Every structure is written in structure tokens, then in C-alpha cells.
Structure 1
């Protein structure tokens, strides 16, 4: 099986614009004081450092680009031309409006055109975009566009189903409400029957 590697442009280096870890921890301390807490009390003394460390993991998607995980495809598909679907990919993201969690599942499919991706790459791609400040609509479009750009398949379909804590924890406080977004490219955009197959395979009847 021969692998094909595609290069992606390197992201712009914004390291000079980033505050230091000490500045980030000080910002957390400021927020603690703003909500009425005392950052010097025993239970909160290490909280700024813990929050900054957690943010490094939660927002680690900014350190990676799609090409970091989609840089290799395989040409030996033995004549396979049908839909490839990876469904029920768990993801966690954060709303860019309130910086509270978005928790959901992604279903990603494509129609191969001579090349395929390693299946774990699709889950890793979802994780990259999830570990950024997002809107669900943007994240759906970004996943679909990355696969189309890298793989050049006949078609791509992406569905995200997620609960937004900005609705459950604040504002309307609607718990259990799920938002569904989709993106269809190529043949999966043009062919309603293919769309219905994707929805059925993903476990959601049209």
C-alpha cells in the first residue's frame, strides 16, 4: 500500500503576540477576584496555575493544523468506491461566545476517489478543531473543508450533534437540548439519495 503525503502551508507564527504563562496565571487571579473570591485562600492558591495548564490541553488544537494528521493518504483501495463513514466520534469544544463547553458527537463520511485516509485520522481531525474556541456551524464546515482539501474525494458529509452548556448553564437554561449541523460537499451535496444514506448510516433518519 503506497502512501501519498500532501504538504499544507505552515500557520503564521504568532508566538510573539502571546502573553507569558505568568501573565496568563495573573489573568486567572484577576477573574477570581472579580467574582468575589480570594485567590490567596488555601483552596485557590494553585488554581491559576492549574487553569492555565488545563487550557493548554483544552485548547491544544491551536498548536496543530489539519496537515499534521491528514498528511498521508493511501492509494491501494482494491477498487472500493462506496461511502466510508466514521460515526459517533466524541468531541469536546468551547463556545467562542461564552467559553463554556460544547459536548457532542461527530459523524464524518466521504466517497473515495482512488485514495483513502486512515480511520483514526478523521477522529484526530475532529479533535483538532474541537480544541479551539468554536461555533458548531464553523467547526462542521472546517472538518468538511479539510477533508475535501486533503483527500479530494468525490464527496464529503459531516454531521455534528452537540449540547451547548451556554444554553444549559446560563440564559434560557435548556438542559438536554441538542443542536444538529451538517455540511455536504461534492456528490453528497448533489445527490439526495446519498444524503439519505449518510443520515441513515449515521443513525438519523431524514
Structure 2
């Protein structure tokens, strides 16, 4: 009898909220984790598009090296998007639905300038990666608070990748900016 009631309750819940994925996390944890990770996802999409924008509009004596560097970084950044969205769904949340949704959540600013100097591109991307790293650390704290080991372990890898991108952008731009900061 208990199983039949539970099954009926589950069916009713799914009719009301068909995208709720079963999880051992409580509703607050799901909401907090999905909120933090959707913010990360918005920044990842913004950083991906900016990285590709600068890749497409690179010019100057270091064109080939910078063009290839930014393409490699864009591939790495884009690879995060599906993993983040699927992780949000696994814990019972819903993900971003549109460019407008991204725009409302992103902290990484767009750059719509007609022309950006190559070193300014590298410096801006370096700072944007630092912003992403900070947001990943914030999200890690939220996930850790709710004992979401699956998400925290992924975030730790993404922090390492983001720090590596920051380092590479710093080193690539050192020749004209001795401080890199």
C-alpha cells in the first residue's frame, strides 16, 4: 500500500513539475546549487563567446600564436557547458534557457568594440578568467555546504583549467606588460 501511495504521489509531482529530477538533496540545496551553477554557466558562455570573438578578430605580429591559443582555450571553455548544465539537472535543478537568461546572470562583461589591441584582448581574457575562477570558488563553497561531492569535484578540475588559462594569457602578454596585472 505504501509503494502505491508513493508512486501515485511521484506521478502527481511530475505532472506539476515534470523536470524535477529525483535527488537525495533537499529543495534548498537544489535551489542553491542550481543558482550558483547557472551563474557559472552564464559566465562560461560569456567567456566562450568573448574568447572566440577575440580569436576571430586577432591581428598583428603574434597573430598565429594568439589565434591558436585562443582557439584552444575556447574549446576547453565550451567543453564545460554541457557538463555544467547536466550537473544542474542531475541535482534536480533547471538550466539556462536563452541568451537573455545568460545576460541576466553573467558577471563577465561583453566586448563589442570594433577593434581591440591584441595585448588588450589577452589582458581582458586574463581578468575574465580570474572572475570565472572566483565564481567557481563561490559555487564550490555552496556545493560543499550541501555535501554535493559530484559538483565540487568537477569544479576543482575547472578551477585548475581556469588557472592554467589565466597563466597562459599572462605569459603570452608579458613581452609588453612587465607586471601582467
Q: TM-score scaled to structure 2, two decimals?
A: 0.27
Higher helix share: 2
TM-score (norm. length: structure 1): 0.24
Structure with bigger strand share is 1
